[in-house]
Chain A
Amino acid sequence: MPILSLITFLPIIGVILILSIDSKKQELIRVTSLLVSIVVFFISLPLYFNFDARAYEMQFVEKLPWIPSFGINYYVGIDGVSLFLILLTTFITPLSILASWHITKSIKEYMISMLVLETGMIGVFVSLDLFLFYVFWELMLIPMYLLIGIWGGPRRIYAAVKFFLYTMAGSVFMLLAIIALYFLNYRATGEYTFNLLEFYRLNISFAVQFWLFLAFALAFAIKVPMFPFHTWLPDAHVEAPTAGSVILAGVLLKMGTYGFVRFCLPLFPEASHVFIPVISWMAIVGIIYGALVSMAQDDLKKLVAYSSVSHLGFVMLGIFAFNIQGIEGGITQMINHGLSTGALFLIVGMLYERRHTRMIADFGGLTKQIPVFATFFMIVTLSSIGLPGLNGFVGEFLILVGTFKTRILYASLATSGIILAAVYMLWMFQRVMFHEITHEENKTLKDMNKREWAILLPIVVMIFWIGIYPNSFLRKMDASVNHLLKQVGDKANIVSNAQIHNKSEQLQENATPKIDIVPESKTEW
C-alpha cells in the first residue's frame, strides 16, 4: 500500500470534501476536517510499527516518473530521521484543528488552509526528489501565510508578509543550488535527475560545496530560525492564531533543522565541517539571546516565541556536533520542542480564549481557580525546561553530551541556556499561576473543558513517554544517524561514540543491544 502517498494526499481529499460542504454548516466542516486529520494520523502509525530499525536505507519508498524530460520523479521514502517528524506532523495537526474550534470567521477557508498545510508539511519530510521537495517546501508557505494574515492578530498583515518574504528570500537561493546540483550530477554521471540519493554520491569540489552549502543553509537558517535570521519569528508567532503558532513552532521550524540533517550535512560534508564554528556560534548566541529576550517579555506568547529561538539553537548545536549523541539529541529535541512548545502555545491560547489578554501582568494566582489547567501547565513548563523524566531532558542531555565531546567551550556556554530557561519559564509560571488573584476577572475562570482535555492529554502522555522510555524512539534513529555520520565522513568518531552512546542508554535504564551498522560499500569521502 502506498502509505506515504496516502498520508500526504489524504488531506487534499479532505479539502475536496470540505469544498462540497455549504459554508454555513460550520460544525460539519469542523468535524470533517478533524476526522480527516485523525484518519491521517492513524494511517501514519504503521510507519512507526513497520519501520525496520536496522536498516538505514529509505523505507516505504514510492517512485513514479513525474516530469521525465527533466528527470524529475515523484520519489518519496523515509528513514529514521524523517519518521518522527512525519508522526509529529500527523499528531499535531488534529490537535491544532481541535484547538481552532472557536474560530467562526470563514471556517471553511480556515480548515482548507490547515489541511493543505498538512499535505505540504508531510510532503517536505517524505520527498527524496529535490524538485518535489522544493515544491512542497514552497507549497506550505501559502496556507501558513493565509492563516497568519486572515485569522491573525492586529498586526497580522505585516507578520504574514514578513513571514512569506523571509522564507521565500531564503529558499530561492536553495532552488538555484538544487539546479546547480542537477547539472553537477549530470556532468559526473551523464544522467539528469533530482534524486537525492544520487546526489549523495557526488564528489563535489570544496569551493563549489562552500557556495552550495551557503545557499541551502540560508534557506534553512531562516526557517529554523537561527540568530540573526530570527526576526520574522516573534511577529509571526504573536500574530498567528493559536493553531497557526502551534504548527509553526511544532513542525515548520523543524523543516529548517531537518534540512540541515537531510541535505547540508550529507551533500556538503567538507563545507559543513568548515562551517561548524560559524553555525555553532550562531546557535550559542541564539540560545543565550533567545533566553534573555524571553526573560524580558511581558506577553506570554512572545515569551514562548523567543524561547523557541533558544531551543532551536540547542538543536543546531547538537546537529553540528557531528556525532551520534549530538544528532540524535538534535532530532529528539526537534520532537520535544514540537510537543512542549506546541503545548505552551495551546495553553497560552486557552488562557487567551478565557481572558482575551496574553499579558503576564493580567494574570496571577490562577492555580486556585483552575487547578487542573495549572497541573497541565506545570508539566509542560517543566518539560520545556528539561526536567529529568520528561522529554526535554533527553534531548538536551544528548546534545550536551555530544557537544562536550567535541568542544567543551560550546557546551559550557550552551548549558547556561538551560539555566536561563529555568529562570524565565519558572518565573513566568510563578507570575501567572501563583500568588494572590489580583484581577477580579480571574476569579470566574473556568477550568479545562473536555475539548481542552482532549488536546493536552495526548501531548502530556507523549511528554512522559519520551522522558521515561526514550529508547523506543532513539533506536529507530540509530541506523539512519550512523549512516549519516558515515556519509559525513566522521568514521573515527563513530566507534568511540557508539560506546558512550551505550553508556548514555544505560543511564536511561535501557539495555537494548547496540545495532550493528551495515557497512556501506560506497563511501566517497
Chain B
Amino acid sequence: MTNASVMTFNILSILPILVLSGFGMIVLVTDLVSSRKLGDKNYLAYISLLGIIIAAILSRNSVGTTLFSFSESFAIDNYSLFFNFIFLLSTGLTILISHSYIKREEINHGEYYALLLFSTIGMMLMASGADLLNIYIGLEVMSISIYILTGFKRSKLISNEAALKYFLLGAFATGFLLYGIAIIYGTTGSINLKQIACFIEGKGGALDPLLLMGMGLIIIGLGFKVASVPFHAWVPDVYEGAPTSITAFMSVGPKAAAFAAFLRIFMTAFGSTHYEWQKIIFVLAVLTMTLGNVVAIAQTNIKRMLAYSSIAHAGYLLIALVAANNMGVSGTLFYILAYIFMNIGAFAIVIVLSQKGDEFIQINDYAGLGYKRPLLAIAMTLFMLSMAGVPPMAGFVGKFYIFSAAIKSGYVGLAVIGVINSVISVYYYLRITVIMYMKEPTREFTPLTISPLIVAAIVISVIGTLQLGIFPSKFMEIAQHSILSLK
C-alpha cells in the first residue's frame, strides 16, 4: 500500500451511491411534506426511477476505469460497475412492477421506494467492497432495508411472520459472517482482500486451520444470502409472506449482491487456495440444485414454486464458483443478468394475475390462461422455458456458459448433476404451460387493469430474455471484460 493511495478520498468514485442516497432522502421527505393521499403516490415511483437512471448514467461514465479509493477499501472497476448495472436494473424493474401492486395492497407508503433505493446502495457497496468490512457494511445496509420491506404488509400476519423469520435468521447469519471476518483478520492481519491474498501466497502451501474456519464461516454467511442449501430454510416462507414485488426483488438483487461478494472474496483473496473451498462449494452446489428442484415439483403456490426455483438457480451459479475459472466468473455475471429478466418477468405476471390480498397465486388458478390472456401466457411461457434452460432463451445460454466452465475445469460430474437437475426442473416449469394451455379455466377471469409501468417491465423482460438467448454475444463480451480486474 503506497502513501498516495492511503490518502485517496475520491468522492467521484461513490457518486452513484451518493446520488441514490440523495434520491432516497428526497423520496422520504417529499412523502412527508406532501399532503396527497395514500392512493396517489405515483410521483414517488417516478422520482425513484429518475434516481436510478442518473445513477446508471454516472456508472456508465466510469466504465473502463479501475480505481481504489478510501484506503483501498472501495473498488471502482468494471466488475463492480457491471454489478451496479445489474442492481440498478433489478431495482428499476422492481419499481415498475411494484407501482400498481402496492397501491392494490394498500401499502403505498413513501418509505417503500426509499427502502428499495437504500438496499440498492447496500448492494452496490457489497460489489465494490475491496475489503471485508466494506462488504459487511454493504450487506447490512441491504439486508436491513429488505427486512423492513418483507414485513411491509403490516396488517397481514404472514408478512409479519416472514419479516421476523428473515430478520432473526439473517441476523444470525450475519453474525457468522462477521465472526469469519474477525478470524481472518486475526490470522492474516488484514481485512483488505488483496493483502489477504498476498499473505496466503506468502505462506506457501501451508494453510492455517483458523483461516479455513474463517473461510467456512464466510461461506455460511454468504450462503445464507444466496439461499444455498442447507442455509435456505427461510426462503419459502419469506418469499411467500413478503409482498410479491419484494419477493421478485429479493430473488434477484440480494442474491446477485451476495454472489458479487462471494466471487470477489473467493477469487481475489482466496484465489490461490481454491482447492480448499472448491470441495465445500461443490457439495453446496449439488445440495442446492437438487433440493431446490425436487421440492419445487411439489409446490402448488406459484410464489413458493418460484422460491424453490430460485434456490435451484443459486445452485447452478455455485457450479460456476466451483469451476473457479474466468469462464465461470463471467458466466455467473451473464447468468445473473439473464436470471433478472426471466425471474422478474415471471413475478410481474404473477402480480398482474393476482388479486387484492394475494388471491389467485395458486398454480391451478392459471388454468385456461392461454386462451383468456394469450399475450400474458406467451410471455409466461417464455420465462418458464428460459428458466428451464430451453433454447433459444436466455436461461439456456446462461446454463451453457456455466456448464462449459465446469467442464473446462474438469468438473464433468458436477456438470452431469447440473443437467440432470435442469431436466428435473423442466417438469415443474412445463407444468405451468400445461396448466395455462391444456387445462380448462377453473375460475372467472375478471377484466384486468394493467398499469403501463408493469407492461413496460414485462416487455423489457421479454426482450431481455430473447436478446440474451438469441444474440448473447455482446453481453458475453461485456461480462468477460468485467472480470479482468478481479485478479
Contacts and interface: CB of A to CB of B under 8 A. Distances in A.
B30 to A, nearest CB: 44
A109 B477 CA distance: 36
Contact of B476 (A67, A160, A165, A175): A67
A281 B194 CA distance: 61
B333 to A, nearest CB: 13
A338 to B, nearest CB: 25
B396 A157 contact: no
Contacts of B400: 131, 175, 179
A164 B408 CA distance: 29
Contacts of A168: 390, 423, 426
B476 A69 contact: yes
Interface stretch (A137-145, A299-307, A426-434): A137-145
B9 interface: no
Contacts of A9: none
Given A161-B434, A179-B403, A69 B480 contact: yes
A197 interface: no
B419 A150 contact: no
A145 B427 CA distance: 13
Contacts of B473: 66-69
A311 interface: no
A168 B385 CA distance: 12
A321 to B, nearest CB: 32
A285 interface: no
Interface residues of A, number: 34
Contacts of A69: 473, 476-477, 480
B422 interface: yes
Interface string B400-437: 10011001100010011001101100110011011001
B472 interface: yes
Interface in A167-191: 168-169, 172-173, 175-176, 179-180, 182-183
Given A67-B476, A134-B391, A183-B407, A156 B423 contact: no
A180 B412 contact: yes
Given A68-B473, A180-B407, A157 B438 contact: yes
Nearest to B408: A183
A157 B391 contact: no
A18 B375 CA distance: 15
Contact of B419 (A66, A68, A176, A183): A176
B236 interface: no
Interface in A320-355: none
B376 to A, nearest CB: 14
B198 to A, nearest CB: 32
Contacts of A182: 404
B111 to A, nearest CB: 43
A176 B404 CA distance: 8
B360 to A, nearest CB: 22
Contacts of B419: 172-173, 175-176
Contacts of A183: 404, 407-408
A416 interface: no
Given A135-B391, A164-B426, A67 B438 contact: no
A182 B420 CA distance: 20
B427 A165 contact: yes
A135 B437 contact: no
B371 interface: yes
A180 B392 CA distance: 21
Nearest to A68: B473
B427 to A, nearest CB: 6
Interface in B360-401: 370-371, 374, 385, 390-392, 396, 400
Given A69-B477, A180-B407, A182-B404, A164 B430 contact: yes
Nearest to A211: B412
A146 interface: yes
Contacts of A180: 407, 412
Given A67-B472, A135-B392, A160-B438, A176 B412 contact: yes
A74 to B, nearest CB: 11
Interface residues of B, number: 34
B397 to A, nearest CB: 8
A150 B438 contact: yes
A248 to B, nearest CB: 18
A453 interface: no
Interface in B466-487: 472-473, 476-477, 480
Contacts of A179: 400, 403-404, 407, 415
A106 interface: yes
A67 B400 CA distance: 13
Contact of A176 (B391, B416, B434): B416
Interface in A91-145: 106, 109, 131, 134-135, 138-139, 141-142, 145
A156 B437 CA distance: 12
A206 interface: no
Contact of A160 (B403, B408, B415, B434): B434
Contacts of B371: 106
Contacts of A161: 427, 430-431, 434
Contacts of B408: 183
A41 to B, nearest CB: 25
Contact of B426 (A67, A149, A157, A165): A165
Nearest to B389: A172
A146 B430 CA distance: 11
A164 B414 CA distance: 23
Interface in A46-98: 66-70
B423 A139 contact: no
Contacts of A146: 437
B332 to A, nearest CB: 15
A67 B370 CA distance: 33
Interface in A278-310: none
A145 B407 CA distance: 30
Contacts of B385: 142
A149 B438 contact: yes
Contacts of B370: 150
A187 B392 CA distance: 28
A141 B433 CA distance: 14
Q: Among the interface residues B370, B396, B437, which one has the most CB atoms of the partner chain A within 10 A?
A: B437
Contacts of B439: 157
Contacts of B415: 176, 179
Nearest to B390: A138
A210 B254 CA distance: 43
Contacts of A176: 403, 407, 412, 415-416, 419
A109 B480 CA distance: 39
A150 B437 contact: yes
Given A142-B385, A161-B427, A164-B430, 4 more contacts: A138-B390, A150-B438, A175-B419, A176-B403
A-B CB proximity, top 9 nearest: A172-B419, A135-B391, A67-B473, A69-B476, A149-B438, A169-B423, A138-B391, A179-B404, A179-B407
Interface of A: 66-70, 106, 109, 131, 134-135, 138-139, 141-142, 145-146, 149-150, 156-157, 160-161, 164-165, 168-169, 172-173, 175-176, 179-180, 182-183
16 contacts: A67-B472, A69-B477, A70-B404, A138-B396, A141-B390, A145-B430, A161-B431, A164-B426, A164-B430, A165-B423, A172-B420, A172-B423, A173-B419, A176-B412, A183-B404, A183-B407
